[in-house]
Amino acid sequence: MSTTILAASRRGIARALAAFMLCAASPLAFAAATIKADSLTVGSDLTYPPYAYMDAGKPAGFDADFSRLLASKLSLKPVFVDTRFPDLILGMRAHRFDAVASALYVTPERTKLIDFIPYLKTGASLVVLAASQYAPAGPEALCGKRVASIKGASWTPKLQKVSRETCQPRGQGEIKVLEFPTSPEAMMALRSQAADAMIEDAAVVHGMLAQSKDSLKLTSTTLLYPIVIGLGINKESKELQGALAGALQRARESGEYQALLARYGLEEPSAAEIQAALMAPGR
């Protein structure tokens, strides 16, 4: 074999070995392309503590930490795209980002549009001004009232159903859901008395109460509309979904996921709860 041919052969072997090592280092390299090859681009509404918000100029909260954990398991850099909640699914389907991590509730309606990797369970709570004599314990107590909410929330059609099937037949007036682009804007409506109550995720309400200096009070007596939260993935991104599911499993096995849940006082959904979220009628 000539020296030239031998050198070319050695260069080919070196390139092949380098390619093999790249695949071995990054589980996603052989599984699926992301929008940016070395990054996991995540859509998140960064106005929604404790799940997703900005702290000292950086994304913070459970969803930000969770995204960083999964990205680390795939040797990818997490990149966050701040997007208002109603536009998250549209943005992902338009390939602005690879996944949505933003307290996105798993519902049968949404599963028609995207796939999910479930990772949390939560529910809704009702909150009013501390000085108010009005103290709604559940949805039926909202008849004839104005209720502030973040736009696109899964509980809105449920409240509208209560309004149609319970409030109006009793002559108690409709539940008027006032939708706002962000949770802070919904809270401002409550504080300015443009709304009588606010409905919000229980963990979010917990954070609001801690920062309210006793100006707010929780009035619901149980967790309303318990539901599962999931990481949103495009339906055509099956390889990416598999890679992210594998990353979550490795985080479970290492104990890092359980430690993250404990830090925020949150829980992982059971298989039965996930199935119920996906299949229950009217959810």
Distance CA 214, CA 274 (A): 35
Give the per-residue pLDDT at 134: 98
**Residue 210: per-residue pLDDT:** 87
Question: According to the model, what pLDDT value does residue 70 have?
Answer: 98
Report the alpha-carbon distance of residue 81 to residue 59 in Å, rounded.
10
Helix, strand or coil, per DSSP, at residue 99: strand
Whole-number pLDDT of residue 32: 59
Strand partners, 177: 147
Long-range contacts made by residues 5-11, C-beta under 8 angstroms, separation at least 24?
none
- What is the pLDDT, as a whole number, of residue 7? 44
- pLDDT of 190 reads 98
Distance CA 5, CA 11 (A): 10
Q: Which two tokens stand for residue 102?
A: 């933003």
The mean pLDDT values, 10 residues at a time, for the chain of 283 residues are 44 42 42 84 96 96 98 97 96 97 93 95 94 97 98 94 97 97 96 98 90 93 90 96 96 96 87 83 36
